Structures are given as structure tokens and as C-alpha cells.
Amino acid sequence: MNDISPPAISLPFTEQLAAFYAYMRSEKQFSSHTQSNYARDLEKFQQFCMQKSLIALPDLGVNHVRMAVAHLHREGLGGKSLQRWLSSLRSFFQFCVKHGWMKNNIADGISAPKAPKMLPKTLDADQAAQFVQIEGDEFINKRDRALVELIYSSGLRLAEVVSLNLVDIDWSDSMLTVTGKGKKTRILPIGSYAISALKDWLVERKQYTQDNEQALFTTQRGGRISHRAVQMRMQQLSIQQGMDNPVHPHMLRHSFASHMLESSGDLRLVQELLGHSNISTTQIYTHLDFQHLARVYDQAHPRATRKTKNEEE
């Protein structure tokens, strides 16, 4: 989408929104996806204002934004979506303040309800071993074995493993150069099982790939494998390998992080390996680690029988 326009029907402050959309498009040069998100968020607020007969920007106050947040929350909008919605409003109101259409940014200081913290699903060590032990000597078997071994060995994101090239592997030191989010590169170790699977795969790869193809993981047609193809193969492998639940690429990455933290206890190390710019992102794995420790404690300690909250009630 190259152009964002206010809705055709008459809604409040459409002229100001038209100017804001033009500003996003020309000066800020936001992507069409970002522009669409802003448009959807701001239209929600327009609809709310129309229902409350709030037509002009100067009529709006902090209480109206709070009411809109509560309304959208009741409608089922989650904490993260509301945070993004408020961010869109702040940007628009700041634009309006700059142009003298409003005296102050009425969305400043308003926060969305906290989203419940969802712990990532992981495999335990035995389940991970079961998933990556792919049997067979066909092209697809060797490629998939190398692919999942490498994701689990080095904690890669889906986009990272798909974008890998042959030159990214340092075979002498068993290291891998990865380009992650924000085009930041990091160097990661590759485990022995993954190295063995990769070497086996590269022999097979030569039979299907032209010499000038740089992609590490390819299809039988010789081109770079796509994100969707990896996702579909992992869905199929989940059934083939007898997993209880579907395994997706990020679950292997989460499992890598959880297992590394359980073994090393070094949060900074895990942060570096995962390529997280902020350690708070990595800290979610400490919750997984504590859950694991609690289970082990309950099973191992002779006086560890503890009542759960439900039992106490």
C-alpha cells in the first residue's frame, strides 16, 4: 500500500489525519505496513470519538483517552495491542501539538493494562534429541537433519538460518557468523552433532545446486530455502518424529536458551549467544530455569513435598 487516506465516511478530525498520513509517508518515510498499522489504530479512536460526539481535537481530554483504552480492552484488545495503539495516538497528538491544533499530548502518561507474561514453550533435552535425530539418506533427510541440528546447536532465529551462506561457516574452528536483527552480526559455536550433519548435507547439496549458489540451505531445485518451507517441514517432522506437540523453529531456539541457562547459569552468556540487545529479553528464560529447578527439588529432596496454591485453598 503506497497511500493511506482517512475513511471515506465523515469521521472526526479527518483533515488533521490526512496531514499526519502525508507526514508519515513523505517526511518519516514509514513502510506501507507501518502506515497501515497507524491507520487502523487511529480509525479505532475516530470511531470511539464519533460514538461520544467528540468532533474537534480541542474537545478531547485525557479522560477520553482513558475511556477509549477501557473500551478497547473490554472489546478484547490485549495489552500489547493497546500499547501499540497508544503509541500511534501519541505520535498523532504530538504532530497535532506541533501544528498548534492541540495544546498538549493527551496520551502522554497513559499506560495500557499489562499483558500477561507468556513463557515460551520449550522441549526438554530428551525431546530435543528425539526431534533432531532424523533418519534417512535422501536429500530432504540430510538437509532437514543439518537444519534442525544447527538451529538447536546455535540458537538461531528462522530468518537467520534461512539467510546463511556457505562462507558463514568457519570449519577450522567450528564457528558460525550470523546476521541477526538490525543487521548485527555475532559469532557462534557449532556443536559436533551439527558439524557432522552439515558436512553430510554439503556432500548431498552439491548434486542439486549450481556452483554460484551461496545459500547454505537449499531446495531440490537448487535455490535458497524459504521461511515458509522451513516452517512446513518442521510441522511434518513433528509428526514424523513422534512429538507430542508441533515443534516450530523458535521452539528449538527457546529450548537451546533454556538448556544453556540450566547448564551454565550464565545469563550474560545466553544473552550474547541469542543476540539480544537487552538482557531483560533474555531474563524470561530464568523463569523457565526456576520452574525446572523447582521440579527437580520436588522430585529429589526427601522433605520437599510442598502444597500448591490450589491445595492450600
pLDDT digits (tens, 9 = 90+) for 150-188: 999 999 999 999 999 999 999 999 999 999 888 889 999
181 part of the active site: yes
Mean pLDDT, rounded, of the chain:
85
Residue 157 annotated among the catalytic residues of the structure: yes
Domain chopping of the chain, boundaries: 14-98, 125-300
| pLDDT tens, residue by residue, 77-127 | 888 888 889 999 999 999 999 999 999 999 998 887 776 666 678 898 899
From CA 36, how far away is CA 31, in angstroms rounded? 9
- For the record, the C-alpha cell of 185 comes out as 552480526
Q: pTM value?
A: 0.57
Catalytic annotation present for 285:
yes
Residue of 73, 157, 186, 224 marked active site: 157
Q: What average pLDDT does this structure show over 44-69?
A: 90
Q: State how far the Cα of 309 lies from the Cα of 311, in Å rounded to an integer.
A: 5
- The CATH code of the domain at 125-300 is 1.10.443.10
Q: Hey, how many other C-beta atoms are within 10 angstroms of the C-beta on 312?
A: 7
Active site residue 38: no
C-alpha cell at 290: 526456576
Any catalytic annotation for residue 250?
Answer: yes
Q: Which of 52, 73, 276, 292 is catalytic?
A: 276
Q: Catalytic pick from 21, 38, 152, 285? A: 285
Residue 234 exposed, middle or buried by CB count within 10 Å (0-12, 13-18, 19+): buried
Q: Which CATH number fits domain 14-98: 2.60.40, 2.60.120, 1.10.150, 3.30.1560?
A: 1.10.150
How many angstroms separate the CA atoms of 75 and 94, rounded?
26
